[in-house]
Amino acid sequence: MHIKQEATERHTLSVTVDNESGILARIAGLFSARGYNIDSLTVADVTEDEKISRITIVTTGTPQVIEQVVAQLDRMVPVHKVTDLTALAPHVERELALVKVVGTGDHRIEALRLAEVYRARVVDATISSFIFEVTGGTEKIDKFLELMREVGLIEVARTGVAAIGRGKEAL
Amino acid sequence: MTAEMTGADILIQALNDLGVEVVFGYPGGAVLPIYDALFKQNRIRHILVRHEAGAVHAAEGYARSTGKPGVVLVTSGPGATNAVTGIADALLDSIPLVVLTGQVGTPLIGSDAFQECDTVGITRHCTKHNYLVKDPAQLGDVIHEAFHIATSGRPGPVVVDLPKDVQVASALYRKPSVQALPHKGYRPQVKADPALIEEAVAMIAAAERPILYTGGGVINSGPLASQVLRELARVTGAPVTSTLMGLGAFPASSGQWLGMLGMHGTYEANMAMNKADLIVCLGARFDDRVTGRLDAFAPHSKKIHVDIDRSSINKIVRADIGIVGDVGRAMEDMVKIWKAGQHQARNLAPWFEQIDGWRARKSLKFPASTKEIMPQLAIRKLWEATHALKPIITTEVGQHQMWAAQHFDFEGPNKWLTSGGLGTMGYGLPAAIGAQLGNPNALVIDIAGEASIQMNIQELGTATQYRLPVKVFILNNEYMGMVRQWQDLTYAGRYSQSYSDALPDFVKLAEAYGWKGVLIEKPEELEAGIAAMLEHDGPVIVDCRVAKLANCFPMIPSGAAHTDMILEADEVVGEMDDEAKALV
Ligand SMILES: Cc1cc2nc3c(=O)[nH]c(=O)nc-3n(C[C@H](O)[C@H](O)[C@H](O)COP(=O)(O)OP(=O)(O)OC[C@H]3O[C@@H](n4cnc5c(N)ncnc54)[C@H](O)[C@@H]3O)c2cc1C
Ligand SMILES: Cc1ncc(C[n+]2csc(CCOP(=O)(O)OP(=O)(O)O)c2C)c(N)n1
Ligand SMILES: [Mg+2]
């Protein structure tokens, strides 16, 4: 017997929640308990009084699963609002990566040149290493990392996706 | 200016303000301050169970039979973990509960202190919501919110974990208004979108082969919803089927009643679902016991789905119209719009003719026997002897539960208490105790299996202590019959570990607890045995020895289509392929 797989889509969700203890465990736990995927999850409080946090979740699933993810998040008691940015409207997605590259000679020069193309900033340097700071969409960062692997990448830290809808309306 | 109170007193005061009359509980170190506060008052009645699992199921029985939330109080660590099964049970069956658990003092949390466990972590995914209260000043608000959350929207269990120092420390308490509760984002949608209701009514009026598929949500909505359902059925003329959880919402004596649907539902209910052109799902959730094989489920029909929980809609089956809101109010709106639009029920005679054809198969018939008691007959006799008394029936889990669902006819809501979603053996006896407490004058009967009843048998003592005249009617087949039945179907009758060996003498056991025991061994003893049970004004166990190898039909095997029902016993013994073996 084989377990069947179905075609999936990638969606970016924005979830505003009461900023209370255990909230992240509740959200993350929902995904594991119901077998949903989390590709990336970021969280920070976003209101002046620090009472509301905004969580950005990138998830993949069949359209039916995505609809369930939204509905399941929405029914949680501390959740105020769930927005499927991917379904809603054009939006901007960014993440930041810190990328450590070690090398000398041609590799080092090539790393710098590529960094320039990708608008990555050098935030730390030694004789044999650089740390680049790069921001952009997930694909851009993936591509940058792919190139850096060729020229001495040894460590990466990524923030995960933050996303916001385009235009003058707020969520 | 009101004076400060201890956390324990705030809790008791809040419970009083919320109208709580009964708490099911079991004491221990981490809840001693609360037990002391209980000792000093006499408004709230504490029912001492014999095991925390019993407390939660009793609270479920109380809740389901009265419509009020059930309240549980247990200690930290093992008290809390023992309560988990009942909490999960209440979540799956949408039962409103507030479970208060003791916790070690806040400075000790996380230190592996004595009887510490991460109750909030353990119960996070088997509660509707849960809390760890770290500040006595917030305790009052949390308790009020816990009850609000447990009872509103889709009901469910809420756990409030109470560290011991919070119970002892002092703070001010004032009764909060619902608007002032902490979670502003929690606003379940009760009123359905009128435009969708209009659309739904038009669709029902146009249907040639409509069916109302009702569920536990109608019971959750309150007794009024059952009345409105009758009205909706009357004006539309549509036939009605129900899930296991919705039994009683529609009277079994009605000519429009098709019986339960699903795995052990009637032939006519399942065939009607399969051939309908419109399914109106009212507070039911397309459970896998109901749909069978999904790609073959009701292939020719449009679906209207009314549910208070948006996540129930399109979860399993896509709805053509999804209506979020309270099903009672939605049905009221439907009836109003139906009447205002002067819709006439279509001529459904051809549809009912077809249905009568399926009814003629008499799918609930069972073989007669003069030697053995057929379990179905025992239920039928029990119904005959008691239905005029409008009894509350609880069950354990297994074949006896399904036979009770098939052969005990219900006429009203809140009379049928069963563990459907989690299927928890051991539910029935404590649930009967809770139901009896909430309905002191009712006849309450737990229809049990000999294996299940042993899972919370200790609660016999609780009924004795509080003089609760509950009846336990055991269909004793000396097997975990439901397991054995699946072994017949799937594993060529290899009865691995499904024999109930070393059974106690249930009559003596009853007597040991101060109950009456009745043994029924032959078909001709059934009526007298049931009469003896009813005559006794205290608690009674009836050990009814039934045919050991009887199986429960009709049955749609897991993963089969509604049209692939097994109706007869002789079709069954065999081996299934891996795909079938992987299904539950
Ligand atoms: C051995 C065994 C065999 C079983 N066989 C069968 C079988 O043959 N047939 C069968 O039907 N079941 C069977 N069950 C039970 C099954 O597992 C499910 O528990 C049951 O089908 C679910 O019932 P339901 O759809 O009514 O939903 P429930 O679990 O009762 O859920 C209620 C639904 O209504 C919604 N709701 C709640 N309140 C409201 C409201 N106020 N307004 C609107 N909506 C509301 C909820 O959000 C939820 O979606 C069996 C169980 C066991 C243990
Ligand atoms: C706590 C728990 N453990 C295991 C099961 C699996 N199970 C379902 S029915 C059943 C057998 C029940 O036997 P009995 O109570 O004698 O009822 P019968 O089917 O014979 O009527 C078992 C073991 C369950 N539902 N609940
Ligand atoms: Mg049995």
Q: What is the DSSP string of B391-433?
A: -EEEE-SSHHHHHHHHHS---STT-EE---SS--TT-HHHHHH
Which run of H or of E encompasses B141? helix B136-151
- Whether A81 and A102 map to the same domain: the answer is no
Q: Do B314 and A81 touch (CB under 8 A)?
A: no
Task: Please give, one letter per residue, the 3-state secondary structure of A20-70.
Answer: CCCHHHHHHHHHHHCCCCCCEEEEEECCCCCCEEEEEEEEEECHHHHHHHH
Last residue within a domain, chosen from A67, A88, A109: A88
Which token pair is B449? 């299996």
Task: Examine the pLDDT at B552 and tell me if it is beyond 70.
Answer: yes
- Whether B121 and B80 map to the same domain: the answer is yes
Last residue within a domain, chosen from B330, B359, B388: B359
A vs B, Cβ pairs < 8 A, gives 54
Predicted pLDDT at B368: 93
If one residue of B64, B290, B396 were mutated to test the ligand 1 pocket, choosing by the most ligand atoms within 8 A of its CB, it would be B290
C-beta separation of B435 from B61 below 8 A: yes
Q: Phi and psi at residue B443, in whole multiples of 5°?
A: -85, 120
Q: Do B132 and A22 touch (CB under 8 A)?
A: yes
- Whether B240 and B99 map to the same domain: the answer is no
Predicted pLDDT at B63: 99
Task: Examine the pLDDT at B569 and tell me if it is beyond 90.
Answer: no
Q: Do A30 and B313 touch (CB under 8 A)?
A: no
- Whether A124 and A61 map to the same domain: the answer is no
Q: What is the CATH number of the domain that holds A149?
A: 3.30.70.1150
Single-letter amino acid, residue B24: F
Closest atom of ligand 1 to B214 CA is: 26
pLDDT interval class at B78 (50, 70, 90): very high
Predicted pLDDT at B571: 60
Q: What is the pLDDT of residues B489-539, one digit of tens each?
A: 999 999 999 999 999 999 999 999 999 999 999 999 999 999 999 999 999
Predicted pLDDT at A1: 76
- Whether A74 and A19 map to the same domain: the answer is yes
Predicted pLDDT at B125: 94
Neighbour count for residue A141 (Cβ, 10 Å): 23
- Whether B460 and B410 map to the same domain: the answer is yes
Using CA positions, which residue lies closest to atom 3 of ligand 2?
A: B425
- Whether B6 and B155 map to the same domain: the answer is yes
Q: Domain for residue B436, yes or no?
A: yes
The mean pLDDT of B158-166, rounded to a whole number, is 98
C-beta separation of A130 from A100 below 8 A: yes
Orientation angle between helical segments A23-33 and A63-74, nearest 10 degrees: 150
Task: Examine the pLDDT at B2 and tell me if it is beyond 80.
Answer: no
Single-letter amino acid, residue B458: Q
Which token pair is B583? 């299904």
If one residue of B425, B500, B548, B549 were mutated to test the ligand 2 pocket, choosing by the most ligand atoms within 8 A of its CB, it would be B425
Nearest residue of A to residue B315, measured between CA atoms: A68
The single residue listed with the structure tokens 């959200």 is A27
Q: Phi and psi at residue B209, in whole multiples of 5°?
A: -135, 65
The mean pLDDT of B404-408, rounded to a whole number, is 98
Predicted pLDDT at B570: 60
Q: Domain for residue A171, yes or no?
A: no
Residues of chain B positioned with their CB less than 8 A from the CB of A75: 153-154, 309-311
- Whether A77 and A113 map to the same domain: the answer is no
Q: What is the CATH number of the domain that holds A79?
A: 3.30.70.260
The mean pLDDT of B78-105, rounded to a whole number, is 98
- Whether B383 and B351 map to the same domain: the answer is no
Residue B479 Cβ inside 6 Å of ligand 2? The answer reads yes
Predicted pLDDT at A20: 94
Single-letter amino acid, residue A13: L
Q: What is the ipTM of this complex?
A: 0.92
pTM for this predicted structure: 0.97
> For chain B, how many structural domains are there in total?
3
Q: Do B309 and A29 touch (CB under 8 A)?
A: no
The mean pLDDT of B110-128, rounded to a whole number, is 97
- Whether B259 and B354 map to the same domain: the answer is yes
The fraction of chain B above a pLDDT of 70, given in percent, is 99
If one residue of B64, B196, B211, B285 were mutated to test the ligand 1 pocket, choosing by the most ligand atoms within 8 A of its CB, it would be B285
- Whether A27 and A75 map to the same domain: the answer is yes
Chain B interface, mutation test: which of A17, A51, A53, A75, most B Cβ atoms within 10 Å?
Answer: A75
Range of A22's domain? 9-88
The mean pLDDT of A15-32, rounded to a whole number, is 95
Chain A interface, mutation test: which of B123, B130, B183, most A Cβ atoms within 10 Å?
Answer: B183
Q: Domain for residue B570, yes or no?
A: no
Predicted pLDDT at B580: 77
Last residue within a domain, chosen from B122, B150, B180: B180
Predicted pLDDT at B582: 80
Single-letter amino acid, residue B99: V
Q: How far apart are CA B397 and CA B89, in angstroms?
A: 12
Q: Domain for residue B518, yes or no?
A: yes
* Residues 6 or more apart in contact with residue A135 via CB below 8 angstroms: A94, A95, A96, A97, A141
The DSSP 8-state label assigned to residue B537 in this structure reads S
Regarding predicted confidence, which is higher, B385 or A88?
B385
Which token pair is B98? 């507030």
The mean pLDDT of A65-87, rounded to a whole number, is 97
The single residue listed with the structure tokens 């949500």 is B217
Closest atom of ligand 1 to B220 CA is: 38
Q: Domain for residue A57, yes or no?
A: yes
- Whether A82 and A13 map to the same domain: the answer is yes
Q: How far apart are CA B239 and CA B231, in angstroms?
A: 12
Q: CA-based Rg of chain B, rounded to a whole angstrom?
A: 24
Q: How far apart are CA B473 and CA B2, in angstroms?
A: 53
The mean pLDDT of B382-399, rounded to a whole number, is 98
C-beta separation of B255 from B234 below 8 A: no
Choose among B500, B575, B576: nearest CA to B543: B500
- Whether B338 and B477 map to the same domain: the answer is no
- Whether A115 and A151 map to the same domain: the answer is yes
Q: Do A18 and B183 touch (CB under 8 A)?
A: yes
Upper half-sphere CA count for residue B252 (Cβ side, 13 Å): 21
- Whether A81 and A106 map to the same domain: the answer is no
Q: Which residues pair with B505 in a beta bridge?
A: none
pLDDT interval class at B572 (50, 70, 90): low
Which token pair is B157? 């269990």
The answer to whether the peptide bond before residue B155 is cis (omega within 30 degrees of 0) is no
Last residue within a domain, chosen from A37, A69, A88: A88
Choose among B244, B238, B241, B245: nearest CA to B219: B245
pLDDT interval class at A24 (50, 70, 90): very high
**Residue among B183, B310, B579 whose CB faces A78 most closely:** B183
The mean pLDDT of B289-306, rounded to a whole number, is 95
Q: Which residues of B sit within 8 Å Cβ distance of A?
A: 120-121, 124-125, 128-129, 132, 149, 153-154, 182-186, 309-311, 313-315, 318, 577-579, 582
Smallest CA–CA distance, residue A14 to chain B, in Å, is 15
Residues of chain A positioned with their CB less than 8 A from the CB of B128: 77
Predicted pLDDT at B102: 98
Predicted pLDDT at B428: 98
Q: What is the mean pLDDT of chain A?
A: 95
The DSSP 8-state label assigned to residue B252 in this structure reads T
| Residue B13 CA, ligand 3 centroid: distance in Å | 45
**Residue among B125, B310, B582 whose CB faces A1 most closely:** B582
Choose among B124, B162, B223: nearest CA to B29: B162
- Whether A113 and A47 map to the same domain: the answer is no
> For chain A, how many structural domains are there in total?
2
Q: Domain for residue A4, yes or no?
A: no
- Whether A155 and A108 map to the same domain: the answer is yes
Q: What is the mean pLDDT of chain B?
A: 97
- Whether A136 and A148 map to the same domain: the answer is yes
Neighbour count for residue B560 (Cβ, 10 Å): 17
3-state helix, strand, coil split of chain B in percent (to 5) is 45, 15, 40
Range of B345's domain? 194-359
Q: CA-based Rg of chain A, rounded to a whole angstrom?
A: 19
**Residue among B125, B183, B578 whose CB faces A33 most closely:** B125
The mean pLDDT of A72-99, rounded to a whole number, is 96
Choose among A65, A82, A111, A94: nearest CA to A158: A94
Predicted pLDDT at B583: 78
| Residue B449 CA, ligand 1 centroid: distance in Å | 21
Q: Domain for residue B577, yes or no?
A: no
Q: Which residues of B are catalytic?
A: 52, 114-115, 164, 482
Last residue within a domain, chosen from A63, A88, A113: A88
**Residue among A25, A67, A77 whose CB faces B314 most closely:** A67
Q: How far apart are CA B519 and CA B219, in angstroms?
A: 35
Q: Domain for residue B308, yes or no?
A: yes
Q: How far apart are CA B133 and CA B136, in angstroms?
A: 7
pLDDT interval class at B167 (50, 70, 90): very high
Regarding predicted confidence, which is higher, A2 or B246?
B246
CB burial of B341-375 (b: ≥16 within 10 Å; e: otherwise) equals eebeebebeebbebbeebbeeebbebeeeeebbbb
Which token pair is B215? 């569920």
Q: Domain for residue A29, yes or no?
A: yes
Q: Domain for residue B54, yes or no?
A: yes
Q: How far apart are CA A41 and CA B60, in angstroms?
A: 37
- Whether B388 and B468 map to the same domain: the answer is yes
The single residue listed with the structure tokens 């609780």 is B462
| Residue B478 CA, ligand 3 centroid: distance in Å | 5
Q: How far apart are CA B394 and CA B358, in angstroms?
A: 30
How remote is the C-alpha of B309 from its chain's centroid? 18
- Whether B380 and B352 map to the same domain: the answer is no
Q: What is the CATH number of the domain that holds B165?
A: 3.40.50.970
- Whether B226 and B175 map to the same domain: the answer is no
C-beta separation of B472 from B453 below 8 A: yes
- Whether A101 and A79 map to the same domain: the answer is no
Single-letter amino acid, residue B135: D
